[in-house]
Amino acid sequence: MASASVRLERESEAHLDMYLAGDFLACVKPTRKNRARRKCRRPSKVATRTLVAKPGANTLTLGTLAGKKKLRRGSYRITLSATGATKKTVAFKIRR
């Protein structure tokens, strides 16, 4: 049996601001200080799960990944990484 990790991220609004370690702009969490700066989008973690995967096809429902919370409208991406395999990322939108 191999293990696989699943990470669900939601794109949220942020602002471009000077990064702490240098002289370049980065997409950071909105604060009072940077609210006048240009807007950008950055991913924020919604859920992460590690599960035991059997050889072959495996299924996972989004309801079990996000817990009892209903996913809000917006852009999401899900990243799957299994031991001994490359990471796969899929983007999707929820529209209601």
Number of domains composing the chain:
1
The answer to whether residue 94 scores a pLDDT higher than 70 is: yes
Percentage of residues in the chain having pLDDT higher than 70: 93
pLDDT, tens only, 51-85? 888 888 888 777 767 777 788 888 999 998 888 88
Q: For position 35, what pLDDT does the model report?
A: 83
Confidence of residue 89 (pLDDT cuts 50, 70, 90): very high
Domain that holds residue 43: 2-94
Residue 10 vs residues 17, 63, 76, 83, 84: alpha-carbon distances, Å: 20, 15, 4, 24, 26
Q: Looking at the whole model, is its pTM more than 0.85? A: no
Return d(Cα 2, Cα 53) in angstroms, integer. Answer: 5
Average pLDDT, the chain: 83
